[in-house]
Structure 1
């Protein structure tokens, strides 16, 4: 069964916490751990138990198949509720050579699924490709690549030897909103707290337009009680504040970005 349409080849970008969604490109995770053992399931001769469509279909998370044009490529499509056809479903049935030859409402006594030409993820040569981290994570366990916001993770982050605060890490974590907690995995993934000293981070923050004033005490960055100051610190450490090459007076905040590879040559003007 082939439900894919050939499309132009898109640029492939290695996934990082700052880039969880892309429209024009494709993200990938290298050396992806196939804990679902999908590669084993698609091997010739392997037999799997069939599902009970009437009772188990509503719990179906996704379907997968081998690309008929490339046996080493496995295609995945997320099974959302709108794709599940359960007994008793009423819909429009189109048949005939021309769309519109028959468009009457029909009562379905059997179960089924609806497929389209869009795929959610592709697994090939040890890599997992996708455009939406959120959709891919609904099929695979990607928590190890971008942990969700949690109070425990925030507390552990606040216990870093590079940070200090007036309150205990436990009490300080209670002040964090969910959006602030989501910065923590990004900060840990980028590792700038380990790469730079608190004094160097303070110096670099002062170059932001407008300036971000970080407080350093006993050679540690102070996590502020003040909400606005704390947000500024988290934005800076999670590398979401970017300079513009066109606006010299202001820097900008971007929740989704990825590094530009070196030695990229500009194309000739049209």
Structure 2
């Protein structure tokens, strides 16, 4: 709130793709700015659950699928400096024009405070993904029309219109990034967030193959996108492998694994299916019920605290 009791209005920005991820200021008339500020501030206030058990550490649980009342968090996330700068100094940024619409990948808004004594700044910035479906006008063979009350007829929209939803896809607050969907967060932050859960590189795959099998040359047809993500996460969480323990645990799930007599490391499975099952085992995606002893494969799990 301002000193006079009126709510401080948010400035809105378009985050454009391409070189440098350019930023443009969305200049709007005051009534619209007031309406959006009020509506979206409510969404921001409700985005982070009050119950701390509903806040999931993404770095520990990247394969988890949050419930509607849960949210992921990445601690100590560095939002790009130019985004923070736009919140502090909005008038330094060029205005968004109609020629920019097709380049928008996100819309964002927010505020910042500065401690009078320490000079430390705190930011609260909300993000909403954007794509061509949010552009209304003569677009891909579609016509946008509206009812003209003066003429009592429908008329065509002469210019492209933008749609801003009452929703958030990510919220940056107190140095932390909160989001519900990794896919949507990745659309906004790209490689900066992909580093937390990505596909293993060729070099990482070779090292993984050598560490686990004594063979860096894993067949290419074994290495689909899912397999590479498994490998990345296994590397991230394992500094070494207990080969005999893996063999024994594999038996619980019908996996016939063997070790090489010379190296003591695992023998690379001959079939892609068995290879993928091994990756699931190493990634803790296979488990046995402690009550019924039934065996399961999961694509969503969360560590117990």
Match for 1:197 among 221, 242, 263?
242
CA distance in 1, matches of 2:146, 2:55: 38
- Offset, 1:132: 0.3
Question: Which structure has the highest helix share of the two?
Answer: 2
- Offset, 1:170: 3.6
The question of 1:163 aligning with 2:216 is answered no
1:90 equivalent in structure 2: 143
On the 8 A contact 1:63/1:77 being kept in 2, the answer is: yes
On the 8 A contact 1:151/1:173 being kept in 2, the answer is: no
From the superposition, tell whether residues 236 and 91 of structure 1 become closer, same or farther in structure 2 (CA, over 3 Å). same
Please give the root-mean-square deviation of Cα atoms over the aligned residues, in Å.
3.1
C-alpha deviations, 1:240-267, integer Å up to 9, x for none? 112324432x221111211122xxxxxx
- Give the 3-state SS of the residue equivalent to 1:65 in structure 2: strand
- Offset, 1:196: 4.2
C-alpha deviations, 1:163-211, integer Å up to 9, x for none? 224xxx34523443333223211212222xx2542122223333x3x34
- Give the 3-state SS of the residue equivalent to 1:122 in structure 2: strand
2:257 equivalent in structure 1: 214
CA distance in 2, matches of 1:238, 1:52: 47
Matches within 5 A, 1:80-159: 80-86=131-137, 90-91=143-144, 93=146, 106-141=155-190, 142-148=193-199, 151-159=202-210
1:75 equivalent in structure 2: 126
CA distance in 1, matches of 2:207, 2:147: 57
- Give the 3-state SS of the residue equivalent to 2:244 in structure 1: helix
The two structures have a TM-score, normalised by structure 1, of 0.77
CA distance in 2, matches of 1:196, 1:59: 46
- Offset, 1:21: 3.6
On the 8 A contact 1:240/1:253 being kept in 2, the answer is: yes
Match for 1:232 among 264, 267, 277?
277
1:58 equivalent in structure 2: 102
Which segment is superposed worse, 237-246 or 132-141? Answer: 237-246
- Offset, 1:151: 4.6
CA distance in 1, matches of 2:147, 2:57: 41
The two structures have a TM-score, normalised by structure 2, of 0.69
On the 8 A contact 1:20/1:134 being kept in 2, the answer is: no
From the superposition, tell whether residues 258 and 156 of structure 1 become closer, same or farther in structure 2 (CA, over 3 Å). same
From the superposition, tell whether residues 90 and 40 of structure 1 become closer, same or farther in structure 2 (CA, over 3 Å). same
Which runs of 5 or more structure 1 residues have no equivalent in the other structure? 97-102, 262-270
What is the number of residues matched between the two proteins? 244
- Offset, 1:43: 0.9
On the 8 A contact 2:48/2:71 being kept in 1, the answer is: no
1:178 equivalent in structure 2: 225
- Offset, 1:82: 1.1
From the superposition, tell whether residues 72 and 179 of structure 1 become closer, same or farther in structure 2 (CA, over 3 Å). closer
C-alpha deviations, 1:196-245, integer Å up to 9, x for none? 42122223333x3x343322222212221222221221111111112324
- Give the 3-state SS of the residue equivalent to 1:129 in structure 2: strand
- Offset, 1:52: 2.6
- Give the 3-state SS of the residue equivalent to 1:19 in structure 2: coil
On the 8 A contact 1:85/1:112 being kept in 2, the answer is: yes
Which runs of 5 or more structure 2 residues have no equivalent in the other structure? 1-35, 113-121
CA distance in 1, matches of 2:296, 2:93: 52
